[in-house]
Chains A and B, each alone.
Chain A
């Protein structure tokens, strides 16, 4: 197991040839470094002494070449050390990550993601420096020390002996200090891990922090932990600098002894002055390797502390093998047998108790009961996500505990109530299990075709969502000219058929009509930037646009209107609790509040004509951003609307006169590059606040897409929709539908659904239930159900109470018996 390996075991593994190359380079470097010394002697004695100019130039060039070669070799050594360190770090991280993923789920319930991230990324990072130098540094420095030491003894054994007296002293003192530094470092690592965990926890649950305005609470907690980290860092650095101090001190103690003893010997005539100078010079060359050895020692100790701490944090054995060894993956019929199965928490609470249940292959079983009755625990035990503590649970006669993860993954599909969505596209998420099966080389597995994906997506009611994603995609007509052409054709058809019918649901673009769901700036421009990346807000600082507003007198009118909007909006925003929701439909962004508050204060003492230029600019910006259909604090004056419509015409003429522009006006026969496919078909935008409007429009839109033969293209675009981090761009229902489709695409023998349709609307829920009916007899279904109006068609209802099964049988029988199920149905 990776967590039991020693740090040194990584040094040579798969690195032997690189480490040997490193040693070779080091030896070469040492050799090359001798050359300048020899050349110095020859330059003085031969070239200068003999007055030979040619020889001087020759030796100087050789000197330069040797220095350059030594420098290049040193560069190669550093590069190689870094490479060895980083490639080993990669292997270390990969092995540890693989191990972490295989740990039991209970481990993750007790571990914050931030702790894992900190360990894998930060704590292990500094170890790479040690790995890279683990062989070369001690080897070369010990060799150098021995050689130099021998040379000193050769010069003068007494002085050499005296100067070496300090080293044993250093060897005794420094490790003691290092031991304390290690302890301090261990403590720092633990504090650092705890703080990383806390940050991870707060970020994961940031919606709760916002919801309960817990900013102060969390800041206080963080401040406390940051204080602890500060103390731990200061303590550790104090020990580190103590070691540095000791090393420096001892390094300079050597010359002190040499001067004192050597000097007195020289005065007394026991040692000549030249020999003393030579000795001092040789002694000074000892200090570099010795210092490097000391630094290496510190690095080694520090790395070992970090390494041990990291490995100990994950030193648990996986509960199950990941893949079968010496056999193929099991293929189950879907039989489930539980005999006396219980699950006890470490504290002794029994979440399920003495469960006896036999589910035939292809049977559909609903698990129902009050909250906390053990339904989800039972489902998790069957899905191998919780290890049962007593009794025996089998899938097709095989003990669940003995199955590998791959056996379970290929035969059982579990959909939890709150499924996880990975960042990436909808397609990536739908095909997650398929990609996994392909990677695991599951025999006989073929990835599903697009038709199959579409079929399943329809079965779970996700098709309309995919179409919505696809139709909201922004495409470039240059890249997809055929699709853009079809979209324009659909625009004409859509207008012909639905312009009157959808008048209330869609705000159609009409040069003569004011857009209530567009900003004032959009209404003046009546177009968008052609570049997709360009933000419309750029218009607010566009010189030509501002010059136009100035020339037409609109600037003054809009500043006036901006002041009205600010006066009506800012007091509300100031009074309210500061939440994200407060600014969701606000013309003033949260980060701009301080600036606007200052403008308000200024407006209280000055007339609008006397306001600072920056304040006038802010008010103008506010007016330009104002959307009458969205910003409810002020009603748009009719006369201002009329003035803007007039300005729209004037602006087009002005822009045509004043040179080329990247603005693209809304024209009925031209594709709008910055807008979605849907908006291009509508040649308008849906009005918010129209209950069920999008569904009504979508039905007609789908019909049009089919007629024009672009349905598949739109589905493809929809499948490429980015779900966002943890599916943030998806609704709860969409997340559940993707999770259901992901499992249905896998077609395992057993489906375990843990309130898997709780967030779905009634229509989608009915679709899923219909799908489950179609697989009855071919796939076993165990479904934890909260809504009892959906269970009547199950083969069997298993009713749980306080961790035990209290009733089991067909729906009609149980209802006729007027037992617990009858009571449950009566109370919901």
Chain B
């Protein structure tokens, strides 16, 4: 029998997606079954160098996690950051509607995982404990960003109070 003759040494796309999701802070505490569902619902997209995954001002409809390669974060035509393997852009898009504040463009050939809100959010909503865990993780991120902001303000780089 062909199937039994061949040992399955290569992982399938679902297992690879699962590995990527498990490493994302948003989903790190989620149950295995839900993570498998989300891995099933993700989409793979490959970008050639120079190709934009999304552009500033476009409606943000999902998060982008980099599996391999490097993506440049651009604002006003200027590179302001880098997204490399294992990093994720747009985690908040899973919960709410907004427009991208920056353009994400492949610097090298990049293999990405797309987490569409329309696919992922209903699964989280169906499991309130999981949704709460994602919300907790997001709140911690916001606290962290605010702290960074306030620290920069102390150096005189910016003005105004923090978010919290």
Contact = CB atoms under 8 A, between A and B. Distances in A.
B40 interface: yes
Contacts of A795: none
Closest 8 CB pairs of A and B: A577-B126, A632-B13, A691-B47, A635-B12, A576-B37, A581-B119, A692-B51, A632-B14
B157 interface: no
Interface in A581-601: 581-582
B126 A633 contact: no
Contacts of B17: 632
- Which residue, of B41, B56, B116, has the highest number of chain A Cβ atoms within 10 A? B41
Contacts of A632: 12-14, 17, 40
Contacts of B125: 212-213, 577
A690 B6 contact: no
B37 A557 contact: no
A504 B13 CA distance: 18
B57 A762 contact: yes
B38 to A, nearest CB: 9
Interface string A628-661: 0000111101111001000000000000000000
B92 to A, nearest CB: 17
A602 interface: no
A691 B12 contact: no
A690 B57 contact: no
B152 interface: no
24 contacts: A211-B118, A212-B122, A212-B125, A560-B4, A572-B40, A575-B37, A576-B37, A576-B41, A577-B122, A582-B37, A582-B40, A633-B14, A634-B12, A637-B8, A639-B2, A640-B6, A689-B43, A691-B45, A691-B46, A691-B47, A692-B52, A696-B48, A761-B55, A762-B57
A789 interface: yes
A319 B119 CA distance: 44
Interface residues of B, number: 44
A761 B47 contact: no
A692 B57 CA distance: 18
Given A572-B40, A633-B40, 14 more contacts: A211-B118, A572-B36, A579-B122, A579-B123, A581-B119, A632-B12, A632-B13, A632-B40, A635-B10, A639-B2, A640-B2, A643-B2, A689-B43, A765-B57
A561 interface: yes
Interface of A: 210-213, 504, 556-557, 560-561, 564, 568, 571-572, 575-577, 579, 581-582, 632-635, 637-640, 643, 689-692, 696, 759, 761-762, 765, 787, 789
B6 A638 contact: yes
A690 B51 CA distance: 10
Contacts of B5: 639
Contacts of A575: 33-34, 36-37
B8 A689 contact: no
A734 to B, nearest CB: 14
A704 B125 CA distance: 48
Nearest to A629: B13
A536 B58 CA distance: 38
B41 A635 contact: no
B11 interface: yes
A541 B36 CA distance: 33
A640 B48 contact: no
Contacts of A635: 8, 10-13
B136 interface: no
A742 B33 CA distance: 49
A692 B17 CA distance: 22
Contact of B45 (A576, A577, A637, A690): A690
A787 B59 CA distance: 12
A639 B6 CA distance: 7
A691 B3 contact: no
B1 interface: yes
B87 interface: no
Secondary structure at the B interface, as helix, strand, loop or mixed, is mixed
A637 B3 contact: yes
Contacts of A789: 57
Given A212-B125, A213-B122, A576-B37, A689 B1 contact: no
A637 B2 contact: yes
Interface of B: 1-6, 8, 10-14, 17, 33-34, 36-37, 40-41, 43-48, 51-53, 55-59, 106, 112, 116, 118-119, 121-123, 125-127
B2 A211 contact: no
A212 B118 CA distance: 10
Contacts of B37: 572, 575-576, 582
Nearest to B37: A576
Residue among B5, B46, B116 with max Cβ neighbours from chain A (10 Å): B46
A213 B125 CA distance: 9
Contacts, number: 108
B1 to A, nearest CB: 6
A578 B17 CA distance: 21
Contacts of A692: 47-48, 51-52
Contacts of B10: 635
A692 B50 CA distance: 10
Nearest to B11: A635
Nearest to B117: A211
A807 to B, nearest CB: 23
A557 B58 CA distance: 48
Nearest to B38: A576
A577 B44 CA distance: 22
A471 B119 CA distance: 29
Given A632-B40, A789-B57, A561 B3 contact: yes
Q: Which of B13, B40, B55 gathers the greatest number of chain A CB atoms within 10 Å?
A: B40
Given A211-B122, A689-B44, A761 B58 contact: yes
Given A560-B1, A689-B46, A690-B45, A637 B12 contact: no
B41 to A, nearest CB: 7
Contacts of A637: 2-3, 6, 8
B118 A213 contact: no
A791 to B, nearest CB: 13
Contact of B3 (A210, A564, A633): A564
Contact of B123 (A212, A577, A759): A577
A691 B36 contact: no
A572 B6 CA distance: 24
Nearest to A763: B55
Contacts of A582: 37, 40-41, 119
B3 A560 contact: yes
A644 to B, nearest CB: 10
A211 B34 CA distance: 17
Contacts of A633: 12, 14, 40
A560 B6 CA distance: 13
Contacts of A787: 57
Nearest to B119: A581
Contacts of A696: 48
B17 to A, nearest CB: 7
Contacts of B34: 575
A572 B2 CA distance: 25
Given A637-B8, A692-B47, A787-B57, A557 B122 contact: no
Contacts of A211: 118, 121-122
A691 B53 contact: yes
A1 to B, nearest CB: 43
B105 to A, nearest CB: 10
A794 B52 CA distance: 29
A213 B128 CA distance: 13
> B3, B53, B126 — which one has the most chain A CB atoms within 10 A of its CB?
B3
B134 to A, nearest CB: 15
Nearest to A504: B46
Nearest to A786: B99
Q: Which of B45, B57, B58, B116 has the most CB of A within 10 A?
A: B57
Contacts of A560: 1-4
A643 B40 CA distance: 28
A639 B9 CA distance: 13
B122 A689 contact: no
Contacts of B53: 691
A243 B45 CA distance: 71
